């Protein structure tokens, strides 16, 4: 960002209101503006954020008008389209319709992307405009048919999704030409940390918009009356741990050989006083206990889980201070709520119908029994909701699963029967449909998204521009960039770059085929299953 832009931004009332002196010398506000923000211009109709997308930035409207959908609207408005299951005949027709050439696409499908044969200036210009962003067409009709609200200069949005690593809750598009300041999550975090006013604004918005509902849906607080719940809402603190782009720091940590709880950002330490319960809103955290010269993993927590309740309750019940029996570390990025002990003791514990379990004071399992859990946590497979787990003691390496996948995906399998192994288990390189889908962060067109039905992570081939952001982000290397061909086997070439057009490909759980994942059904030895490491009992696998 240039000097003039920085000066212009500093002069704006929203930025000028931030207390410059509150920032330390090594993290000045000007440095944050320069490094963590950018000015983005949108044309009428351009979608700024889409409901369901994961984003790592917030937006401040500098000029122009935006519209936010406040009611229902069709998915195809967002460039996603709906996925329909094939009928039996359509599924069978794949036998003769599948080409021996892999990744064949209908050229006419890519009318908005320039191909070698369509190298006119017009098509290039059109490509620049149309492939970078998905846009709402015919704004007057959309405004007429669907409920929307206007957002004007000075409005800030997207900060809760960016800081909380949760999906965007609404869709916003430009009604007129608009200029926005995009603030990366790192910048947001620093501004929130050092500026009291900004922190108050964000926290108030979260309290007003989501916290009350979130607590009401939690078993611990569901029985509270409105007044008591308000007291809990007012006292709750927001905390984040670890890096947002945890996959980068994790890969760095792995390559340096420094893994394990002792190398992860601490949230709570064993033996410390519990000053409140921590409720995980997003991400994963490892619960561990000192064992020998290291930390032994007891379990891990995900969204909706809480930590420290047992100690606090035991302390309140006995009138003595009970220290934490375990430690808690961030497995990547963790967004948590801390409900202070005083509030719990006053409003929650006296009315608790089912008391929490006892404080952990020992481990009654052997190292061998916990080894698989330790491995799954270490490799971050806990993120999986549909990991492809192969029992190597049953697998005859026949590749029927690979062939079945290929036959349901135009001849090109969407996974590799290879991956990390532990004992006789292998987690193959197939999309795990993560609970925290890092791949979805930064997709410029929202092509990779969570399916409305079933919640699997799928890619809209039509809006994928082959930028490989998702493939680079996936910590498990489960997304492949594939060159696409026409029906004669000729690679489709981007006329602008002269390079083959790429599409991101990955397992979609056979979402368009009847009968569920073909790989599971095709295994004659029941060696292959899709597992959720968070819900399926590791010991039962």
Partner 1 sequence: MDFARARTMMVWLAAGIIFDLLLVESNSVQILLGNSAELTGYWLFGIMVFLALFNLRKKLSMLPLGNASTWLLLHAVGGILALATYWLHTQSIWPNGIYERALAVLFYLTVLSGIAGYVVQRVYPSKLTQTGVEVIYDRIPGHIAELRANAEALVLKCCDETRVDTLGQHYLDTMEWFFRRPRFGFSHVAGSQRSRQWIRQQDANVRRYLNDEEKTYLDELTNLAIRKNRIDVHYALQSVLKRWLVFHIPVTVALMTLSVWHLMVVNVYAL
Assess 224 for contact with partner 1 (CB under 8 A).
no
Phi then psi for 199, rounded to 5 degrees? -60, -40
For partner 1, the binding residue among 116, 269, 424, 499 (CB under 8 A) is 424
For partner 1, the binding residue among 161, 285, 522, 538 (CB under 8 A) is 522
Candidate ranges 226-234, 276-284, 359-367, 522-530; the one touching partner 1 (CB under 8 A): 522-530
CB of 177 to partner 1, least distance (A): 48
Q: Are strands 237-241 and 285-291 parallel, antiparallel or unpaired?
A: unpaired
Assess 400 for contact with partner 1 (CB under 8 A).
yes
For partner 1, the binding residue among 267, 324, 523, 538 (CB under 8 A) is 523
For partner 1, the binding residue among 215, 268, 312, 426 (CB under 8 A) is 426
Assess 489 for contact with partner 1 (CB under 8 A).
no
SS3 279: strand
Assess 32 for contact with partner 1 (CB under 8 A).
no
Assess 88 for contact with partner 1 (CB under 8 A).
yes
Alpha-carbon torsion angle 431, 436, 438, 443, nearest 10: 90
Assess 417 for contact with partner 1 (CB under 8 A).
yes
CA distances from 454 to 385, 508, 510 (A): 11, 11, 12
For partner 1, the binding residue among 304, 355, 358, 515 (CB under 8 A) is 515
Phi then psi for 403, rounded to 5 degrees? -65, -40
Any idea what the Cα angle at residue 316 is, between residues 311 and 320, rounded to 5°? 80
Candidate ranges 8-16, 135-143, 219-227, 509-517; the one touching partner 1 (CB under 8 A): 509-517
Question: Toward partner 1, which CB reaches closer, 128 or 424?
Answer: 424
Assess 104 for contact with partner 1 (CB under 8 A).
no
Alpha-carbon torsion angle 13, 14, 20, 24, nearest 10: -170
Give the number of other Cβ atoms within 10 Å of residue 343's Cβ: 19
Candidate ranges 149-157, 178-186, 232-240, 421-429; the one touching partner 1 (CB under 8 A): 421-429
CA–CA dist 323, 511 (Å, integer): 48
> Among 470, 375, 472, which residue's Cα sits nearest to residue 427?
375
Question: Toward partner 1, which CB reaches closer, 189 or 521?
Answer: 521
CB of 530 to partner 1, least distance (A): 13
Give the number of other Cβ atoms within 10 Å of residue 176's Cβ: 14
> Among 484, 517, 489, which residue's Cα sits nearest to residue 408?
517
CB of 419 to partner 1, least distance (A): 8
For partner 1, the binding residue among 147, 269, 525, 539 (CB under 8 A) is 525
For partner 1, the binding residue among 183, 331, 395, 430 (CB under 8 A) is 395
User: By CB under 8 A, how many residues form the interface with partner 1?
Assistant: 35
In the DSSP assignment, the letter for residue 347 is I
HSE-CB for 241 with a 13 A CA cutoff? 23
For partner 1, the binding residue among 48, 58, 62, 91 (CB under 8 A) is 91
Residues 333-392 touching partner 1, rule: CB under 8 A, are: 392
For partner 1, the binding residue among 386, 408, 463, 485 (CB under 8 A) is 408
For partner 1, the binding residue among 396, 490, 491, 541 (CB under 8 A) is 396
Candidate ranges 191-199, 237-245, 480-488, 517-525; the one touching partner 1 (CB under 8 A): 517-525
SS3 363: coil
DSSP 456-496: -EEE-TTT-----HHHHH-TT---EEEE-B-TTSPBPBBTT
DSSP 234-264: HH-EEEEES-TTHHHHHHHHHHTT--SGGGS
Assess 407 for contact with partner 1 (CB under 8 A).
yes
For partner 1, the binding residue among 211, 387, 404, 439 (CB under 8 A) is 404
Alpha-carbon torsion angle 401, 403, 408, 413, nearest 10: 90
Question: Toward partner 1, which CB reaches closer, 411 or 500?
Answer: 411
Candidate ranges 3-11, 159-167, 260-268, 416-424; the one touching partner 1 (CB under 8 A): 416-424
Chain positions contacting partner 1, by CB under 8 A: 88, 91-92, 94-95, 392-398, 400, 403-404, 407-408, 417-418, 421, 424, 426, 513-516, 518, 520-527
């Amino acid at each position: 960002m240039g000097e003039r832009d920085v000066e212009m931004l500093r002069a704006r009332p929203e930025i000028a209101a931030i207390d410059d002196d509150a920032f330390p010398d090594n993290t000045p506000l000007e440095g944050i503006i320069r490094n963590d923000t950018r000015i983005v211009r949108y044309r009428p109709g351009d979608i700024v954020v889409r409901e369901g997308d994961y984003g790592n930035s917030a937006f401040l409207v500098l000029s122009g008008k935006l519209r936010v959908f406040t009611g229902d609207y069709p998915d195809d408005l967002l460039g996603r389209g709906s996925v329909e299951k094939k009928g039996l005949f359509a599924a069978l027709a794949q036998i003769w319709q599948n080409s021996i050439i892999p990744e064949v696409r209908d050229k006419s499908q890519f009318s908005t992307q320039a191909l070698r044969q369509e190298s006119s200036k017009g098509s290039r210009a059109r490509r620049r405009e149309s492939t970078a962003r998905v846009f709402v067409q015919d704004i007057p009709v959309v405004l007429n048919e669907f409920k929307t609200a206007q957002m004007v200069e000075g409005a800030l949005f997207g900060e809760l999704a960016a800081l909380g690593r949760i999906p965007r809750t609404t869709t916003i598009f430009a009604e007129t030409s608009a200029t926005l300041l995009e603030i990366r999550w790192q910048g947001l975090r620093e501004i929130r940390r050092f500026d009291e006013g900004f922190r108050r604004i964000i926290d108030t918005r979260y309290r007003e918009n989501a916290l009350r509902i979130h607590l009401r849906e939690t078993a611990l607080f569901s029985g509270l009356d409105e007044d008591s719940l308000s007291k809990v809402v007012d006292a709750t603190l927001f905390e984040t741990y670890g890096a947002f782009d945890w996959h980068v720091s994790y890969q760095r940590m792995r390559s340096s050989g420094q893994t394990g709880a002792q190398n992860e950002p601490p949230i709570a330490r064993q033996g410390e006083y519990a000053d409140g319960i921590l409720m995980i809103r997003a991400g994963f955290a490892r619960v561990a206990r000192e064992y020998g010269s290291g930390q032994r993993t007891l379990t891990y927590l995900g969204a909706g889980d809480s930590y420290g309740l047992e100690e606090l309750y035991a302390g309140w019940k006995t009138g003595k201070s009970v220290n934490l029996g375990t430690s808690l570390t961030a497995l990547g990025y963790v967004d948590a709520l801390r409900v202070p002990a005083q509030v719990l003791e006053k409003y929650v514990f006296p009315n608790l119908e089912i008391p929490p379990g006892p404080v952990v004071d020992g481990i009654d399992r052997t190292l061998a029994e916990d080894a698989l859990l330790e491995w799954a946590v270490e490799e971050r497979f806990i993120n999986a909701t549909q990991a492809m787990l192969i029992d190597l003691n049953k697998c005859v390496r026949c590749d029927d699963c690979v062939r079945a996948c290929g036959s349901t995906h135009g001849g090109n399998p969407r996974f590799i029967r290879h991956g990390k192994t532990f004992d006789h288990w292998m987690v193959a390189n197939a999309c795990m449909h993560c609970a925290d889908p890092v791949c979805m962060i930064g997709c410029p067109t929202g092509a990779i998204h969570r399916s409305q039905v079933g919640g699997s992570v799928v890619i809209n081939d039509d809006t994928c521009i082959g930028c490989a952001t998702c493939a680079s982000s996936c910590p498990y290397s489960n997304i492949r960039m594939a060159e696409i061909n026409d029906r004669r086997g000729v690679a489709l070439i981007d006329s602008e770059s002269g390079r083959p057009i790429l599409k991101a490909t990955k397992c979609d759980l056979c979402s368009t085929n009847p009968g569920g994942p073909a790989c599971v059904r095709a295994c004659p030895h029941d060696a292959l299953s899709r597992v959720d490491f968070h819900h399926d009992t590791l010991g039962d696998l």
